[in-house]
Amino acid sequence: MRIGIVGAGVAGLVAAYRLSQEGHEVDVYERWPGLGGQGATLDVGDGVLLERYYHHWFTSDRHIVDLWNELELGPIEWQPSSMAFFVDGKSRAFTTPLDLLKFSPLPLLDRIKMGLTVLRLQRAGKPVEAYEHETAHEWIVREMGERPWTKIWGPLLRAKFGSRAQDISMAWLWGKLTMRRRLEGKEARKELLGYPMPNFEPLYVALRDRIEANGGRVMIDRPAARISKDLVITPGAPQSFRRGLDPREFEPEGEGERYDSILATVPNDVFLELLDDDAREALAPGYTDKLQSIEYHTAFVLLLELDRQFSPFYWTNVADPSLPFIGLIEHTNFISPAHYGGRRFLYVSNYLEPHEELLTLGPDELLSHYEAGLRKVNPAFSKEWVKNRWLFREPAGQPIVTVGYPERIPPLETGVPGLLLANTTQIYPEDRGTNYAVRLGEDAARRLRALTPA
């Protein structure tokens, strides 16, 4: 049977691969002239590939690690994580329980209480539903006090959810804290982070090659411009990506192709814009409201190539609100610069509301805007250290998981017979990530299979 898949990110490629393995004829449409979606790489020069947005795996990320191994794609490098908080004018290590005990911005009693509260939560073994009715802010202030929120949890959530940190559901934080707890033995004692060597690209290439070997097509720079109720995908002309994300801006090209079923893996707003009027009307009652009720924040990430090391840490949460960015991720403190011919890379991260003015800045203006903040973290920093810079914006970078989120999640089945949607808003209560994109892609393939006999 013929299946059309919109999006060649991890979810779309995995679904297409599984379906093609069973003899279905799959076509993948991708707007961007490359594979991997939010996990895509760029050539930073000399053929060296690096992800546009910082990426690592946790040891609990079994789905993607299993897939990587199934595809026989070389080693995964596992390294101890090294995390810090920049607070009260200084970066302070924050990786081990001992770091927590030494974390002087919090009084000792607060530190002990905080550690015990986290342990209690992990041991309570309650289901996620027990944490869905309140915000993480309310829970933390009640269980640990105001200071741990101000100095630690608020900044941690701000690093993910920007201005909406205070509204995030406790269920989301519960997912983060209990996920690690499920690890046993050595894994639970020391957190390791994983990175596929030499980068994420071989995963996308291997999936594409296998889909094509199984008779499918993976078409990059070939967006879907329209989806109709009778399951026709009308493609947009090449180079449509230059017109942005809204498919209504793309020049439709040709008659379109009819499929037995379609899986869209695009963000909620893009999905709605893809549907023609009849398809929109055929959505299940309340489906459009669900799609529109979930907010996203834009990931706005400046990638710098530096001529020297910036800090000793891989991941620095910026807990000082006077700094205009929320995280510093020094990739080459995780993966050795030796893998990049001695070159060093630092991501300066922000999550912003869609209309924030900062998003209008170009890379050089943004670097100037960030310069004083970077110097607060490392007083020796100078723009002369910067050899190259790239700036990336992902409008659907982070779904905002507020109280009541589960009721807003759109089901994969859209109500239009044969049309499914699978995207990051459906990852819950875990944090969205490539691992869960694999799980989602496989789940979508299972559901499509049920609709569509081979």
Ligand X SMILES: Cc1cc2nc3c(=O)[nH]c(=O)nc-3n(C[C@H](O)[C@H](O)[C@H](O)COP(=O)(O)OP(=O)(O)OC[C@H]3O[C@@H](n4cnc5c(N)ncnc54)[C@H](O)[C@@H]3O)c2cc1C
Among 1, 2, 25, 32, binds ligand X (CB under 6 A): 32
Cβ distance to ligand X smaller for residue 55 or 137? 55
Among 196, 397, 399, 410, binds ligand X (CB under 6 A): 397
Gap between the Cα atoms of 219 and 369, Å rounded: 39
**What does 193-221 look like in DSSP terms, one character per residue?**
EEEESS-SHHHHHHHHHHHHHTT-EEETT
Closest CA to 415 of 235, 294, 288, 295: 288
The stretches of 323-380 forming alpha helices (DSSP H) are 363-377
CB of 364 to ligand X, least distance (A): 21
Among 26, 156, 206, 266, binds ligand X (CB under 6 A): 266
Question: Does the footprint of ligand X cover residue 55 (CB under 6 A)?
Answer: yes
φ, ψ for residue 180, nearest 5 deg: -65, -35
Among 144, 262, 299, 377, binds ligand X (CB under 6 A): 299
CB of 225 to ligand X, least distance (A): 7
Among 83, 84, 218, 270, binds ligand X (CB under 6 A): 270
Q: Quick one: how far is CA 171 from the chain centroid?
A: 18
Question: CA 134, 140, 141 angle in degrees (round to 5)?
Answer: 100
Looking only at residues 425 through 444 of this chain, which bind ligand X when binding is defined by CB under 6 A?
432-435, 437
Among 424, 443, 445, 449, binds ligand X (CB under 6 A): 424
φ, ψ for residue 146, nearest 5 deg: -70, -40
Where does residue 49 fall: left (phi above 0), alpha (psi -120 to 50 degrees), or beta otherwise?
A: beta
Looking only at residues 207 through 226 of this chain, which bind ligand X when binding is defined by CB under 6 A?
223-224
Residue 14 CB partners (closer than 8 Å, separation 6+): 67, 207, 437, 438, 441, 442, 445
- The site string for ligand X over 303-322 (x = CB under 6 A, - otherwise) reads --------------------
Question: Does the footprint of ligand X cover residue 164 (CB under 6 A)?
Answer: no
Looking only at residues 34 through 53 of this chain, which bind ligand X when binding is defined by CB under 6 A?
37-39, 53
What are the start-end ranges of the E strands in 291-427? 296-306, 315-318, 327-330, 344-352, 386-399, 419-421
CB of 436 to ligand X, least distance (A): 7
Residue ranges binding ligand X (CB under 6 A): 6-12, 29-32, 37-39, 53-57, 223-224, 247, 265-266, 270, 274, 299, 301, 394, 397, 423-424, 432-435, 437
